[in-house]
Structures are given as structure tokens and as C-alpha cells.
Structure 1
Amino acid sequence: MKNLEKRRAYTVVQILRKTLWSAIPVVIIFVIISSFSFLEIRKQNNLAVENAVNIYQTELEGKLNAVAHFVQWTVVHDPILDSFSLDNSIGIFRQAGNDLRLRVSDMQYSTGSEFMYFFYWDQGNIFMNASELKVSYKTYKAIRKRVIMDTVKIIGAEGFSWNTCVVDGVPYLYYQITYNHRTFVAFVAAEDIVAPLSKTNLGRYGNIKLQNLNDESFYETAESPRGFLSYYYNKLYFPGEKSGLPFTLVIDSDMLGSYGKIFLLQFLVFLTALALSVIMGGYILATYKRVILPIKIFSSNLSKMDSISDTASLSLDLTDSKIQELNQINDQFKSLIHEITRLKINIYEAELDQNKFRILFLQQQIKPHFYLNCLTTIDSMLSLGDVSAAQKMLQFTSKYFRYLFQADKDFVPLSSEIAHAEDYLDIQMMRLSDDIEYTCDIDEKDFDVLIPPLLVISFVENIIKYAEPNEDSLKISITGKDYMRNGEDYLEISIRDNGQGFPSEVIEKIRNGEYLTIDGARIGITNCIRRLKLLYNDDFEFRLENMENGGGVVILGIPKNTAEQS
């Protein structure tokens, strides 16, 4: 027995020794191949950076030329700027400013929204932004001061070009032209200029630097590598004279770039595999049948849990009983599944009760909102002696309460909501003594679609409260349209008006899934969104938009099979 043990030990040592000796030439070959791989990777990485920069320069040159041409043409030829004359009024100036912003907005579709445009008329001392502001008000004032100062300098200049400046600590490129006392200028932050190159992998300490034509640095994304790192990073120059850009691009790039980690990982994996393959080979072979094989059987049985019911899983044997610890895990796992099933049932029932309570609470929160408005209006009419109008308002109030008593359900027919909204509009026209042009275009077959109660009236009332029509009378229209979503039938309800539209911050919050403030402002919209989430989860659509010709629109998309779900 002792001789047998010695022979086995000697055989393992001998195999290990042969393995180590055979590894030496393999290591030498690997080092040589790695050296060639390093040089090739460095070359390919530099080529990739150069190609990315060339594409970037070509695209940026086209944008800058387009912006420069647009600024030149606008200030010299655009008839919109002719409106800025001493003979015209402030109203004409305001309209001209709006028209100029529309033209700039069209230009930004092709050149990008990072370019900001400003207009200055020195005779009328009018300075305004012709595009959406992307800076703080402090920076806006600094830009205004800069433009006005430069207007005096560039009058009479023969040529124009992109220049660099620092405003409020931020470097910018700008192109400014003054003609006939009118100055038009385009600003773009240096950070936005180099943004397309930020996706290029330059390494952990990579840097992008912009230099003007005098080789003076005016912007860089980080500090240039120093010390030993400076030898590991390539410094690539891209002169502005060759690319047609108003600046020179200097890039510090990792020699290996995206391939550096792969190269290092390749080297470490090779050495680790060479060392561990000898040590782990015998160990894995000895322990496979005693440990790994039973665990594989356990894992295979465990994966079957996805294809069987919870009840059946309680009686499933996950192990072949060869390892005592796995048998204990099997018993504990069965108990755990049973407990999880019980807890899931309890939590599900609790969530159902909670959702029902929250829906009722939100409905009750909306009801006083309309009721108090009706009582206030009746009180005002009686104070003015308008008894006939007060009687009509009392009739509406009775109809309103009758509808509320029938609206304790989660869903009501769309026809009831439309009728309720029309009664409300009739009273508003009588109370305000103003005409409200109302239209409803919904297919009769959709009047039976079930929707949450007090949904439509919330948005109609919001229009009455906030909309300021740009015409003589307020116009409200309710339309319906069928469409498909995820293979299901949906009804799109659109409520439009000809007012001033929704504030941009309100639209942005709705798009980001945020609730509006509930401290008295737009509580109707906030509660409607919450009710829709509770009743439909995420199986609905809600949008606020502003129409091009003025006015706002509320768009609701709800499933038509609500009756089946409820």
C-alpha cells in the first residue's frame, strides 16, 4: 500500500514538472506575440481616434458654416428684422421677435439645439434671446453685455469669423454680425462643441484641449497627463487650418485605448490559467464525483421549479440524498416556499383593500372641489339679484349631486361624463356671460365605453379656470378616436382649447412621470392621474401638449375592455 502511494505521488510530481517545463517556451512565444499585439493595438487605437476626429471635424465644420451663413443672411436680408424700426410700435417688435424665434427654431433642427442666438437693436436698445435659453439669468446678462460691447468693435469690419470668449467663467465660440444698427449673434459653449468626442475612449486620464489660432488654450476637458503617464499617452494634434475649424484640437489618448484592458486581461488570464491548470486539474478530477455531480443534480432539479405549480413544488425532491447538507436545504426550501405562498396571498389581499380605499379617497377629494364652486356662484348671483340665473344654477347643482351619487363606482359610461360636462359648460356660459364654442365629435358606439367618473369634467373645468383664449370666445372641443395598442382596443379622448396652452414646466413634469403640486394648484389633473394609475396600473396613456396654432390639448388613452376587467 505504501509503495502504491509513493508511486502515485511521484507520478503527479512528474506530470507537474513536465507541465512547467513545457510552459516555458509557451511563455516566451506569448511574450513575443504580446509585443507585436501591443504595437498593432496602439496603431489601430490611434487610427480609430483619428477617424473619429475626422468625422467629427467634417460634421462640425458643416454646422459652423451653416450657422455663419444663417447669421449673415438673417441680419442682412431677412425681412423680419425690418420690423425693428423707430417708426413701429412695441407690439410689432414683439411679433417680430416671435417670428424670429420660429425661424431660429427651424434652423436648430438641422444644426442642433446647442447653438443659442441673440438679437440686439442699438437704436431701440432692445436685446433678446432668439432661441431657448440654456444658461442662467446671470450668464444671460453677461452675454448681453459682451454682445453690446462687441457691437461697437465690429462695425465697419470687412471680414467675420468665429471667435472665442469666456462668459461667466464658461468658454464659448460666437459669431457676431452688425448691419444697419441690428446685431445678430450665435453662441455655443465649448463643452457642447466637444461633446460628440466624449464618447471616444481616450483612457482614464484622456484629455481634449481646444486652442485658438494663436495656439492659446481656451478649453480642456481635463488636466493633461503628467509624469510617467505622459509617456503612456499619445498627444495627437489636429490643426484648425487643415480642418477649416476656428480652433486646433489637441487630444491626449491612451496608447491602447479600448483594447488596453483586453490586452492586460489576456496576459493575466494566460498566466493564471497556466498556474491554476496544473494545481486545479487533479483537485477537480478528485472532487467531481463527490461534490460537483450531486450539486449539478440539485441545480437541475431546482431549475424545474419554473415549469411546475407552487403546490407541486412542495413535494419536489431537489436532491438525490447523497449529501446530508443538500437534504437539509431541500427540507428548508420546501418550508420557505410554503411560507412565501402564504405571504403573497396576504399581501395581495391587503393591496386590493388599500387600492380601493385610495380610489375612494381621491374621488371624495374631487367632489368638494366642484361643489364649493357651485355654491360660490349661486351666492354671487343672489347677491346681484339674478334670481333666474340662481335657479338655473340650483338645477345644475341638483343634477350634479345626482350624478355624484351615481359615480361612487370605479367606472361610468362615457355618455354620462359628456352630458355632465355639457351641463357644466351651460352654467359657465350663463355665469360668465361669455360665449363658449363647444363641439363634441365622438362615435355613438364609443358612448358605452366605461371610464372613471369625474374624469372629463376635471379637464373641462381646468380649461375654464386657466385658459385665456387668443380670440373673442373660448373654444372647447372633445373628440374620440379608436386605435390599437399591444393588440388591444383603445379609445383616445382629446380635450382641446384655444387658450395660451400649458406651461412648459407642467408638460415636462407630466412627461417625466412626476405629479403636479397639490397645494391647491391643478389638483384636478394630479388626482386624475393618480386615479388612472390605481385603476389601470400602467395600462393607459396621458399626455399634455400645446398645439402649433395655439391652445392646449389633453390626450387620454384608455382600454375599451374596462367592463371585462372590472
Structure 2
Amino acid sequence: MRKKRLIQRIATYTVALIALLVVMLAWYAFSTFSILSAELQTEAASILAVYGGQYGGRVAQMDKLLQNLLLQKQTTLLLLKSASEAKRFYAAQDIHNYIQDLVIADQSVGVFVVADNDHQICVDASTQPIGYADREALRGYAVLCAADAATPRGWRIVTLNGQTYLCRMYVYNNRVAAAYTATSAFLATVPLAQGGEQTVILTDGDGVIADFSGGALARADIGRALSEVKIAGAQAADARLADGALGVHLRIRSAVVWNQTRIIMAVMLAVILAALLFGVLIARYLRREMVRPMQRMTEDMRRIDGGEYALRIQGEYDTREFTLLKDTFNRLMDVIVHLRIQTYEKRIELREMELRSIRLQLRPHFFLNAITTLSSLSGQGKERELKAYVDALSRNIRYMFKSGLHTVPVREEIRHVENYIEMQECKYPGCIFHFIDLPQELEGWPVPQMLIQTFVENEYKYAVSLEDVLTLLIRVSRETVGDEEMLLIRIEDDGRGYPEDVLRYMNGDAPRPANDGERVGLWGVKRMMALMYERDDLIRLSNIEPHGCANLILVPQRPLHEYQEKPLPA
């Protein structure tokens, strides 16, 4: 099936988008006005719920600050009635400082006044500077209320010196603590939307208008009952504060509905025209900045896929993304080519290691020793021992000729080790006691060929003697290393142990001397494990007390590299 071009898809989607926008405009013009009209009442209630929460929060904060004053300065307030004029003076000063700190820290209260009628004490503090006449009016009203024991404690709205205040006071024992806030400042707690369509009205408990914010009322309406004031074409929402002592009322004019409808329709039309224009511009831009560069890149990638590995994406691109894509692709191609070269080099190294491994196994002194042993047994007339030695030697040589960088089941490696020990028994009769522990469930685990035999051969070369009996233990078990299951081969003896320099370079703590001809077999095994599994931590050698050594070999379940020489033609 022929695939569509990118620019065609973009053009199709742009036309579909514009058609969808036209349908949306027609539907919106039909439904917006009716929806906005229906939602205006809900909006009024929602707005007032938000406004009412903020107004109620300010009322609660004013009450809280006043109660804090009465609780924190309870003892000091009692001193206002002290017989000592000095104590009264210092008490008044302390209260003044405290309320001054309150209004600085929290501007919910406009003015604090504390007065005592018995000693004509009156202190105050205000958030903002106020005139002398206003201050005296507030102080005088507080003193007057202190003298009147019947003064109610609740919230009230009072007008003093031509200014309307929201007032909360506590009166007891000819003493008063009052908090004032101008109603204009109280209504300014929540800023109204611009345009004058919203009006917030503050009333007392009887529904009499105390103040308002907005353009729906006139100043002459203050003092009238809200029920007597009608606002044409307005949606209403009402809320009560301070247990019904105050009322907050929101009025929203319906003219906002038509204004919003016209604005939305104009915006939608502008969006459609802009979408049409931008659709054309985007199509041209994508063709220049995306489609053509992608065509050039695709052509270069086809050539590279066809075998031109030296080719790289050429050309300069105006966009950062395509420049990054070009540079990243070229770097990846360099890495891929480099990895291919490394792979070929590793294969060569593996083959060289294979040849070296075979040469190490077919050491000349091995055959010389074998011939010497054969001659000795023949001269002594030990026909049965001679036959056993020849059988073991043939099996050993056959196994060595199959060796390479590949794996065999661990049971096959153990069988060869036992055959090797049987062959060496003819040369060192009764000089070694060996024990092999191989669980049946682990017999099929693949291990590198000649792995265990190399360590056993090292035992015969450096640890076995005709004077002493050497104990050799080979134990195979399963070990969890990190999140990986591995085979653990533990080879121990009670001989002399390893020299310190051998332990250092075999455990990776020091480099191996370049001209060191000792322990070639062990070093070859370490190198073989590193090549096959790409890990250098699989072999660990140590000496044990009082004497002897331990060889710990970890074998992962699968090798990463494996190489076996092709059989020679018969």
C-alpha cells in the first residue's frame, strides 16, 4: 500500500481543523447567550461563596486578635484598676505597646481601643494614620460603651464623625476592649472585577445597608433597607456573617452576558482566520524545514543501509533538532563501525588464545615425562600398570586435542580430571588423596574445557611430592552473585600455598611480570575466563591456615564468547 506524504497529511488535518472551528463558532453563537444567562446566577452564588469566605475570615481574624488581647494581657488589664497610679500608667503603656505590635503584624483590624471608665484611661493603636477628630470619636465611643454595662458584646456597625466602622467590643467591669475596621477597608478585602458589573453590599443584622463597593448603588442608598433597593437586570446572592449580625450581598448586572458573548464570538472568528493563515504558513514551513531535510536524510540512510558504511549524512540544517539528529546519527555510525572492528579483533584474539591454549596443553615436558614413565614401567615388567597408564594417557591426549575456548558439561570436565589423576597415580603412587563433590543437579552446567584440569595439573607440578600425601578437595555448588546464579568451583589442598606475587597478579591487585614464565597455565585460565565472559572477577586465589591454598572459580550460566576449532579432516 502506498503511504501518504507528510505534507498531504498536514494539509488534510489543517482543513479538518478549520472546518471544526467553523462548526464550533456557529454552535457557540447559538448557545453561549443562553448558557451564560443560566450560569450567571450560579456564578453569583459561587463568587459570593469565595468572597464570603474571605470576608468571614477577616471577621474571624478580628475576633481572634481581640480575644488574644484579652487572654494575653489579662493580668495587665486588671492593673488598669489598680490603686497605684504608677501601676496603671505602666499597664496602659504595656497594653499600648502590645496592640501596636498587633496592628503592625496583622492589618485585619484598623484600630484597637482599650478604655477604663473608672480611671478615664484610654489607649489605642491604628494600622494607618488617622485624623485627630476620627481618633477622638473612636476613643469617646469606647469610653461611652465602657460606662454603659448594658452595651452588647456582639458585632455592630457604627458611624462616627461621618465614617462608618465595623466594630467588635468586649465590655466588662466598666472596661472595654474594641476593634474597629472601616467598612470601606473591610469591603476592599476582596477586589471586584473591573467594569462595574459587580457590586458587594454590607448590611447589619436588620438588613440595613451600611456600605457598598461597586457601581450598582448610590451613596444615598446607605441607611435604607436592602429589600427596598431594586437593581434592574441583576442576579443576586446573599450570605450572613458573624452569626447573622452582618450580611454580605452580591449583585451582578446581566449586561455582562451580552458583552462576554460578543467578545467570545469575535475571538472565535479571529481564531479561525488565524488558524487558516497559520495553516498555510505551517505547511510551507514544514515543507522547507522538515520534509526536504527528511528526504535528504532518508536517501543517505538508504545508501548506508546498502553497504556504504563510510558515508555520513552531509549538509547544514537550520533547525537545532535536525542538526542534533544528523550529528547523533553520524556518531552512532562511527560507534557501530568501531564496534564491528572491535568484534573482528576480538575474534582474532580468541583464535590466538585458542592456539595458545592448545600449545600450553601440549607441553613437550608432558610427553617426555609420559615416555619416561612408560619406559620405567616397561623395564620393571609392570604390564598391568603399563596398560592402565597407556589407556589413561590416550584419553587425556584425546581430550586435550578437543580443547578450546568453548564449554563442556561440568561432569565431563570432572571425568577428565579423574582420568588425569589416574594417569598421574602411576607416577606418584599413593601421594595424593582426592575427594570430588558434584551434586547431580549441577552436572550439566557448562564450564570452559580444561578449566578444572589446569588447576589440578598445577597441584601436581608445585604441590605433590613422593615424601608426603597431598589432600585435594574439589567441591561444586551453586552461588548467587548479585542477581545472577553462578556455579562455584572450590579447589583446596593442604600444600605449601601460593607465593604472594602470584596471589597479587592472579587476583588483579598487581600486573603480571612480562617475563614471568611461572604459572603460565593459571594465567591462561584467567585470560580465557575474561575473554569468554568479559569479566575479571571470576577467579580468586588465597592461602589458608595453617598451610594450603583455596581456588574459588565462579562460572556464569552462559559464556558471551565461545570458539571451537573446526575438526581436522581425516
What's the TM-score once normalised by structure 1's chain length? 0.39
Instruction: Name the larger-Rg structure.
Output: 2
What's the TM-score once normalised by structure 2's chain length? 0.39
Higher relative contact order (CA 8 A, sep 6+): 2
Greater share of helix residues, 1 or 2?
1
